[in-house]
Amino acid sequence: VSFRSTVESEDTAGVATSAIYFTLNGARQAGATAQHTFNTVGERAEQTIAQLLVIPNAPQTLNVEMSGGTFELSNYTLNAYKIG
């Protein structure tokens, strides 16, 4: 699974660190986090995460979550591939 997005800081405090990560059935998936520290309001950065997830049975719920401040996401893509 991979996720890519342009992230823009809207945090009026100025400095903010965004973290984007996957959760599977509500559990945060270790090893797949993208972080970026924004120094000004309106600053933009590309953030990408990718991880191999083992899904033993269906259905499962995969979410992309974010923490760290107020951000706007644009130009985002999510790709999931079945192997095997």
Q: d(Cα 13, Cα 4) in Å, to the nearest integer?
A: 25
The pTM for the full model equals 0.87
Residue 84, burial from CB neighbour count under 10 angstroms (0-12, 13-18, 19+): exposed
3-class DSSP state of 2: strand
- DSSP code for 43: -
Q: d(Cα 57, Cα 78) in Å, to the nearest integer?
A: 21
Sign of CA dihedral 82, 65, 19, 12: positive
The tens-digit pLDDT sequence of the chain (84 residues) is 999 999 999 877 778 999 999 999 999 998 889 999 999 888 999 999 999 998 888 899 999 999 998 899 999 999 999 887
